[in-house]
Amino acid sequence: MARIFMDKDASLDILKNKTIGVIGYGNQGRSQALNLRDNGLNVIVGNIKDSAWDLAISDGFTVKDISETAKESDVILLLIPDEVAPKVMEDDILPHLSKGKVLDFASGYNITYGFIKPPKYVDVVLVAPRMIGKGVRDLFLQNRGFPVLVGVEQDASGKAWDYTLAISKGIGAFLPGGCAVESSFYEETLVDLFSEHSWAGAMLYLLQACYEVLVEEGVSPEVAILELYASGELGEIGHAIAQYGLWNQLSLHSRTSQYGHMTWGKRYITEDMKKLMKSAIEEIKDGRFAREWSLEQLLGLPSFNRLWKTMLSHPICKEEDKLYKVLGRR
């Protein structure tokens, strides 16, 4: 069983009297920086000169360029998009890494695939929130925690786990309801990509296919869209799954619904589906997906942009737009 760490297992002491440099003041960066500072820690922000820079200044942080922040920080939280991190690392951070420094990631991707290769004399740790950036801050303000996956790739100081748990505590993971689960850069990357490539991606295509079938059957686009996702019921079911469990949450539905879920829902799940899942795992493990995505970026995102265009040109988007305007969402 994976080790599960709670508040009693962590101390902020190791971070006291240290300078924590949060690189990137976006989704995760802003929330983590604010939570760390509210926990009494010394945080500076490194960012490119853009609106996020201005926001960090107006939030009261000392903001410097990324290179200067890396130079001045003992503990560096790399919270910029994974696609740009290798170059920023190479140009602005690596030259300032020295023995005793700690490099913290919120995603295992770049280390797993070797796109970032930190020197052996620094600690390399993972604190990957299972929570969007906004949630990291909102929950903290409600005195509530969230789960993080944690791991240590390099323990040069012999204290890398203490740093990992201290960062987890500092960003608010150990408040009531939260925890840190022992994982690794590799495992975090595997589960993260696998979720995106399997149920999460398939769910969007599935909902779109359901829309097509319902509309072909004469259901109005408005009713179909509300039924499938716009009502917010899908989100409520997601919350119920998290709260009560995958199947246990079914008891919140009517008996007719429970029976329908358990019988007809299963028809779509075939042996082929598991084979597809296994090949998705293989493509993640052997780096095929990562190489394809790197190449796509190198070529200037032609498929990515074409896919976006295709998705947004589906009738569901046009109908959704009309409905969301009526509902005051756009």
Query: What residues have CB less than 8 Å from 149, skipping those under 6 apart?
Result: 126, 128, 130, 180, 181, 183, 187, 188, 191
Return the H-helix or E-strand segment holding 19: strand 19-23
Contact, 133 vs 107, CB < 8 A?
no
Closest CA relative to residue 269, chosen from 197, 199, 201, 191: 199
To ligand NDP, the closest distance from the beta carbon of 73 in angstroms equals: 15
| Number of amino acids touching ligand NDP (CB under 6 A) | 22
Contacts to ligand NDP from residues 117-156, by CB under 6 A: 128-129, 132-133
Site for ligand NDP contains 21 (CB under 6 A):
no
Q: Which of 6, 48, 191, 240 binds ligand NDP (CB under 6 A)?
A: 48
For 300, phi and psi rounded to 5 degrees? 90, 25
Site for ligand NDP contains 90 (CB under 6 A):
no
Measured from the CB atom, the residue of 151 and 323 that comes closer to ligand NDP is 151
Q: Which of 2, 11, 40, 81 binds ligand NDP (CB under 6 A)?
A: 81
Q: How many Å apart are CA 164 and CA 36, to the nearest integer?
A: 13
Q: Which of 2, 16, 40, 84 binds ligand NDP (CB under 6 A)?
A: 84
Q: Please identify, among the stretches 23-31, 183-191, 198-206, 258-266, the one whose residues bind ligand NDP according to the rule CB under 6 A.
A: 23-31
Straight-line distance from the first to the last Cα atom of the chain, in angstroms, rounded to the nearest whole number: 46
Q: Please identify, among the stretches 7-15, 20-28, 175-183, 268-276, the one whose residues bind ligand NDP according to the rule CB under 6 A.
A: 20-28
Contacts to ligand NDP from residues 93-122, by CB under 6 A: 106-107
Query: What residues have CB less than 8 Å from 97, skipping those under 6 apart?
Result: 70, 103, 118, 119, 121, 122
Site for ligand NDP contains 171 (CB under 6 A):
no
Contact, 125 vs 64, CB < 8 A?
no
Site for ligand NDP contains 25 (CB under 6 A):
yes
Query: What residues have CB less than 8 Å from 217, skipping those under 6 apart?
Result: none
In which residue are the tokens 């240290």 written? 18
Q: Which of 36, 73, 82, 171 binds ligand NDP (CB under 6 A)?
A: 82
To ligand NDP, the closest distance from the beta carbon of 134 in angstroms equals: 8
Site for ligand NDP contains 214 (CB under 6 A):
no
Site for ligand NDP contains 47 (CB under 6 A):
yes
Q: How many Å apart are CA 25 and CA 200, to the nearest integer?
A: 27
To ligand NDP, the closest distance from the beta carbon of 287 in angstroms equals: 17
Contact, 163 vs 123, CB < 8 A?
yes
To ligand NDP, the closest distance from the beta carbon of 80 in angstroms equals: 4
Q: What CA–CA distances, in Å, run from 47 to 54, 66, 101, 290, 319?
A: 10, 5, 19, 26, 39
Q: Please identify, among the stretches 79-87, 172-180, 220-228, 257-265, the one whose residues bind ligand NDP according to the rule CB under 6 A.
A: 79-87
Query: Rule CB under 6 A: which residues touch ligand NDP?
Result: 24-29, 47-48, 50, 52, 79-82, 84, 88, 106-107, 128-129, 132-133
